[in-house]
Amino acid sequence: MTQLFQVGGRKTILGMIHLEPLPGTPFAADGSLSRILDRAVRSATALRDGGADGCLVQTVDRVYSVEDDADPARVAAMTRIVRAVVEGTGGDGFQVGVQLMRNAVRASLAVAKVTEAGFVRASTLVGATLTAQGLVQANPLDVMEYRQKISARDVCIVSDADSMHFNWLGGDRPTGHVAKDAQQAGADAICVSHPEERHVLDMVASAREWAPRIPVLLAGNTTHDNAARLLAAADGAFVGTCLERGGWGGPVDVDRVKSYVEIVRGLER
């Protein structure tokens, strides 16, 4: 896991695996777990075969608790899925990440540790953000104490600093300041996103200024058309829709992965 996130080196390309609602959530379909698991493994395999560095297995349960908590059935289902993905893509350095939305960071750490996944993504590690489900408030002390408690220092944490999942509540705090806060709290990398390309580049520049040693990943809105421009500035990206057949939430297409990775690797030559 040491070299997955790095500043100024090889770009880290992480494909998204968006899951249907899991058991323990209001919109879960009866008997759907096996289908969700099989599709997750197929998508992860397509990402690996297409040359991606890893994937993020992310719950999409439609409604969420704002607390750092998760239903036991949901955690159990996620553990089963992530372990299947780890086993199905084993070897060759392919890294698997965990994100129990909206902000169940401790549960994500537990799943990652037990399944031997490599990282988690925390949408609110520092500060607070207002969401459709209510106010999400960070508790980095609890997160880091729990990480220590379960001996999960080997599980990296990627913290959203300014994205579709996190906007600093209580003022226009520069992205770089949030990145520095996240690094101080123990994050191993931060991620940013915005639909406007110029704004994304400004956020990356702000993070570079205030937290120059922390890797900066893009968290959405990259495509085959803009990847070269955006990833020339950033250290990697979470990539979803442009790799999925039929748009967001569709199965990952290995040929789309290959062409995206080829564009990014061209920046490193």
Give the model's pLDDT for residue 132: 94
Does the residue 5 lie in any domain?
no
Average confidence (pLDDT) over 179-201 = 98
Average confidence (pLDDT) over 261-267 = 96
Give the model's pLDDT for residue 210: 97
**Considering only CA atoms, which of 44, 57, 73, 75 is closest in space to residue 18?**
57
pLDDT at 246 over 90: no
Question: For residues 47 and 96, what is the distance between their CA atoms, to the nearest angstrom?
Answer: 11
Does the residue 268 lie in any domain?
no
pLDDT at 17 over 80: yes
The helix or strand, by DSSP H or E, that contains position 155, with its residue range, turns out to be none
Average confidence (pLDDT) over 229-252 = 92
Does the residue 95 lie in any domain?
yes
Does the residue 158 lie in any domain?
yes
Q: Give the CB-side neighbour count of residue 203, counting CA atoms within 13 A.
A: 30
Q: Are 242 and 263 in contact (CB under 8 A)?
A: no
Does the residue 50 lie in any domain?
yes
Question: Band of the pLDDT at 18, cuts 50, 70, 90?
Answer: very high
Give the model's pLDDT for residue 91: 67
Domain that holds residue 65: 12-263
- The dihedral built from the CA positions of residue 38, 119, 265 and 260, taken in this order, carries a sign that is positive
Does the residue 6 lie in any domain?
no
The enclosing domain of 82 has a CATH number of 3.20.20.70
pLDDT at 3 over 80: no
Report the 10 Å Cβ neighbour count for 34.
9
Average pLDDT score, the chain: 95
pLDDT at 172 over 90: no
Give the model's pLDDT for residue 211: 97
Number of structural domains found in the chain: 1
Give the model's pLDDT for residue 1: 41
**Considering only CA atoms, which of 205, 234, 237 is closest in space to residue 221?**
237
Average confidence (pLDDT) over 197-222 = 97
Give the model's pLDDT for residue 26: 96
* SS3 readout for 197-235: HHHHHHHHHHHHHHCCCCCEEEECCCCCCCHHHHHCCCC
State what percent of residues in the chain have pLDDT above 90.
91
Does the residue 166 lie in any domain?
yes
